[in-house]
Amino acid sequence: MKDETKLVVAGRDPESNFGIVNVPVYHASTVLYSSLDDLQQRHKERAEGKQVVTYGRMGTPTTWSLEEAVAEIEGGYRCQVFPSGLAACAQAIQAFVKTGDHILVTDSVYGPTRYFCDNVLSRFGVETTYYDPLIGGGISELIRDNTSVVFVESPGSQTFEMQDIPAISDQAHKRGAVVLMDNTWASPLYYKPFEHGVDVSIQAGTKYIVGHSDVMMGTVTTNKEHWETLQTAANLNGQTAGPDDVYLAQRGMRTLSVRLKQHMENGIKVAEWLKGRSEVHSVLHPALKDHPGHDLWKRDFLGASGLFSFRLNALSRDALAAFMDDLELFGMGYSWGGYESLIIYADPSNYRTATKWDNTNPLIRLHIGLEDTDDLIADLTAGFDRLKAAQ
């Protein structure tokens, strides 16, 4: 089946749910067993990796529906849901490290993942080295005998460097390291991590899977080799997600294809328009031909999302505020992936360690929503007019 069809049918089981199209919400903690034999049999089956209801935290048909759909679309073996994208990132890393290990993390990584490595993993004796996202196969020089994880994110969620994932994965596997990827930007639809050497794929389902800016959700999908390690660690840490949130994420998955196509089309149109503005220094969108990583995007990705950045020419803070403060359609807020357009100011120079980021040309990140692009462009045009008046 094509991905668009899988999005509609994956994880659904009407015959087991009285013909109901969507798997209902199971609110469950305690589960009652009919007999000692029933109790022991179900726990035996669960130990064998089967999906059986034993306790609410261990999964219900509601959670399995979403997990099966994500794994099928992404091309992995199985998936586990988490209560947020950060929880998914943190637990995925933690599952594959122990005291004395060393991990490699891209310098363009999602900020909270970096804070987890620096402030939590470090307290448990796990050392993190940040590497240039453009390093490709050269990462072999950074891999040590105790390097257990290589963490990639492509593109970086603020600065949009494209990574050569197959080259990095090849070198990591030669040294026995597990490759983890934050695949949120492209969603399960536009990048197939397991086809490019990734072992564990992480999604902030809060973004495009949910799609409506009203649910916190994370997913981690693995290949068959690493599933037991991930699931065991997640269960021991009590990681789960509430059934109502899972249901909303499951519902969001069904429309992911039509939404993402529009986000991509709108995003490229606005990015191309920004390139022609005199106030703009550069546009960082991998789908644009002049982006340094465009060839990698074209080789490995099936599409683009609505998230990208651009850099303004040097200007005063007052002029920057004049541009951003009174936008009518662009909300100023974090997260992204919903139907609405968003704008934030970012300064990567505050945390870069392996690479240098000069913020003389201020970095602005946009998420282009589902509004009409003519209206979005008119809103940005008015912002540029205010910017010029403030200079």
| End-to-end alpha carbon distance in the chain | 55
User: How many angstroms separate the CA atoms of 269 and 40, rounded?
Assistant: 58
DSSP string, 355-378: S---TTS-EEEEE--SS-HHHHHH
Under a CB-based contact definition with an 8 Å cutoff, are residues 136 and 166 in contact? no
* Residue 6: pLDDT band with limits 50, 70, 90: confident
Q: Which residues fall within 8 angstroms of residue 316, CB to CB, at 6 or more apart? A: 390, 391
Q: Is the pTM of this model over 0.85?
A: yes
- Looking at residue 84, its pLDDT comes to 97
Where do the structural domains in the chain lie, given as residue ranges? 3-254, 256-390
What is residue 312's DSSP assignment? Answer: E
Compare 127 and 11 and report the one with higher pLDDT: 127
Using the predicted structure, report yes or no on whether residue 9 has a pLDDT greater than 90: no
Rounded distance, CA 352 to CA 354, Å?
A: 6
Beta-bridge mates of residue 181: 152, 201
Mean per-residue pLDDT, 210-234: 96
Task: Examine the pLDDT at 233 and tell me if it is beyond 90.
Answer: yes
Amino acid letter, residue 364: I
pLDDT of 11 above 90: no
Q: Indicate the angle between helix axes 373-390 and 317-325, nearest 10 degrees.
A: 150
Assigned architecture for domain 3-254: 3-Layer(aba) Sandwich (3.40)
* Bridge partners (DSSP) listed for residue 312: 280
Give dist(CA 163, CA 154) in Å, integer. 5
User: If pLDDT is split at 50, 70 and 90, which confidence band does 17 have?
Assistant: confident
Does the structure show a pLDDT above 90 at 177?
yes
- Give percent of the chain above pLDDT 90: 88
Q: What is the pLDDT of residue 251?
A: 92
Torsion of CA 352, 357, 363, 367, to 10 degrees: -50
Using the 8-state DSSP alphabet, how is residue 84 labeled? S
The residues that are catalytic are 57, 110, 182, 207
Give the residue among 317, 86, 29 at the shortest CA–CA distance from 219: 86
Q: Cα–Cα distance between 226 and 86 in angstroms, integer? A: 20
Instruction: Dump strand ranges (E) for the chain.
Output: 78-82, 102-106, 127-131, 147-153, 178-182, 200-203, 218-222, 280-284, 307-312, 331-332, 342-346, 363-367
Taken in order 181, 186, 189, 195, the sign of the CA dihedral is negative
CA distance 28 to 16: 18
pLDDT tens digits, 183-207:
999 999 999 999 999 999 999 999 9
**Which is nearest to 94 in space by CA: 60, 69, 117, 71?**
117
The amino acid sitting at 55 is Y
CATH of domain 256-390: 3.90.1150.10
Write down the pLDDT at residue 14.
Answer: 81
Mean pLDDT calculated for residue range 286-315: 98
- What's the average model confidence in pLDDT over 358-374? 97
